[in-house]
Amino acid sequence: MNSRKDIDMIQGSMRRSILLFALPLSATGILQQLINAADIAVVGRCIGKNAMAAVGANSPIINLIVNLFVGISLGTNVVIATSIGRKDSRTIQKAVHTSILFAIMGGLPVAVFGELFARSLLEYLGVPAEILPMAIRYLRVYLGGMPIILLYNFEAAIFRGSGNTKTPLAALTISGVINVILNLFFVLVIGMTVEGVALATVIANLISAAILFYKLWNCDSDIHIQRDRFRIDWNVLGKILKIGIPAGIQSGIFSLANIVIQTAINSLGATIMAGSSAAYNLEILVYYVLNSFGQTCTTFVGQNYGAGNAKRCKQALVICLLMDITVTACLVAIILLTGHQLLSVFNPEQAVIDAGYVRLQYIFLSYVFTLPHVVLSGYLCGFGISLPPALISVFGVCVTRLLWIFIAFPHNRTFATIMTAYPLSMLITAISVALALLILHPARNLQRTVRGIGQEHTALRKGNEI
């Protein structure tokens, strides 16, 4: 039995269903980033440029860890989506309970790691001495809340796999409002600095995770949870990790390369760091919209793959690509036209604004190539093929960016030189993923498999008639 909020991906108008699925997913990503932007704006306006730079300096580390586990949660999404297509209620139940336990168990060692190694990580990144103490406090509090943060993300993946993106958005909206209120309370009333902003984020994630847990407990579909079923099913976990670990590596590789890039940015001083941090909070809004169509493609392909419908798998790819291009182009145009005004919200210094706008220009150029990479990778993941896109990202993104920073940047130590790594690496990666799709051609293989099964059933029926 499906919830009324679950979108039927196997039948009906695919254009309408994709839009209904992708828009709340985009809004969820944007809202998450607006919450992060509120953190940056509060510390930038109420504490100062150094506090703003301290929060921004943590972004690569936090993104590396969160993106790794969010990538793994894609395995939950695909396993549940495919099982729904096959009408396999038992596997859906096992995947739900296993994923929730894995999220909590995976977050605990990250929290301990953060407490022990926060200083070492930030010193390795070359965070300036005047910023380091605040950056350490922020990172320790944030990573301390990682079990809660990961729980929300895996719960959201469960809802997405079932075709429901509205419930995670509603939960995040409530917690987002509370997060902004707590930001102002901890900083302006209590007098805390960056650690107060981090604490507000953790509490907000606790609220959103609790809301989704309650919804899963009380829902009337196959994804509902029960106390006596909370156990790790190792077979299902293996399926989740088989898809999720390569996807997590793919997500993590971007962040790993960005850690090296952040180190180079840090070497240019607090002004460039602050401008880069401000621009990141704008560019990532567009990325979440862009990426939502890749995740949408994964879920639609997953359910139709489970149902054996190759034609709808290919339709999902084409529609997601066209919709993504249209929406992303509009958003990029709006932000570029109003970029200086938007950047001034985070910090009014002209040098900070100018640095931020340089970053926006280069990042948006890279999105021309990021978009097909994201959607094509999502298409392959829907078939359970996540290793090839991950390997391509390792070489196309990570290796290219590392080589650029270590070879090109020392000869021309400017912010523009650093930013060139983004469009260059994404061009190489997009071409490589497109070639991988042409070689693997999963929809054609599915078509052959379904045709073969049909022929076997026909032969068996004729034999019985004889």
Mean pLDDT of the chain: 86
Asked whether residue 120 is assigned to any structural domain, the reply reads yes
The residue ranking higher by pLDDT, 291 or 33, is 291
Contacts of 220 (CB under 8 A, 6+ apart): 1, 3
Give me the pLDDT at residue 326, please: 95
The highest-confidence range among 188-202, 251-265, 434-448, by mean pLDDT, is 188-202
DSSP 231-267: S--HHHHHHHHHHHHHHHHHHHHHHHHHHHHHHHHHT
- Residue 456 above 50 pLDDT? no
Domain that holds residue 373: 14-451
Asked whether residue 463 is assigned to any structural domain, the reply reads no
Asked whether residue 458 is assigned to any structural domain, the reply reads no
- Residue 294 above 80 pLDDT? yes
Give me the pLDDT at residue 464, please: 43
Q: What is the pLDDT of residues 84-97, one digit of tens each?
A: 888 899 999 999 99
Query: Residues 91, 83: contact at Cβ < 8 Å?
Result: yes
Query: Residues 205, 175: contact at Cβ < 8 Å?
Result: yes
The residue ranking higher by pLDDT, 165 or 249, is 165
Q: What is the pLDDT of residues 321-339, one digit of tens each?
A: 999 999 999 999 999 999 9
Distance CA 381, CA 429 (A): 16
Asked whether residue 246 is assigned to any structural domain, the reply reads yes
Per-residue DSSP letter, 10 = S
Q: What is the pLDDT of residues 260-273, one digit of tens each?
A: 888 899 889 888 98
- Residue 461 above 60 pLDDT? no
Residue type, 134: M
Distance CA 46, CA 191 (A): 10
Give me the pLDDT at residue 285, please: 85
CA-CA distances (angstroms) from residue 226 to 146, 393, 425? Answer: 24, 38, 46
**Mean pLDDT calculated for residue range 34-48:** 76
The domain total for the chain is 1
Asked whether residue 216 is assigned to any structural domain, the reply reads yes
CA–CA–CA angle 241, 245, 251 (5° rounding):
145
Asked whether residue 4 is assigned to any structural domain, the reply reads no
Distance CA 2, CA 178 (A): 31
What percentage of the chain carries pLDDT values higher than 70?
94
Give me the pLDDT at residue 58, please: 82
Asked whether residue 2 is assigned to any structural domain, the reply reads no
- Residue 462 above 50 pLDDT? no
Q: What is the pLDDT of residues 185-194, one digit of tens each?
A: 888 888 888 8
The highest-confidence range among 35-39, 161-165, 426-430, by mean pLDDT, is 426-430
Name the E strands within 347-443.
Answer: none
CB atoms within 10 A of CB 252: 25
Place of tokens 């960005």: 258
**Burial call 320-337: b when 16+ CB within 10 Å, e when fewer:** bbebbbebbeebbeebee
- Residue 240 above 60 pLDDT? yes
- pTM value is 0.79
Contacts of 352 (CB under 8 A, 6+ apart): 49, 271, 274, 275, 278, 343, 346
**Burial call 351-381: b when 16+ CB within 10 Å, e when fewer:** ebbebbbbbbebbbbbbbbbbbbbbbbbbbb
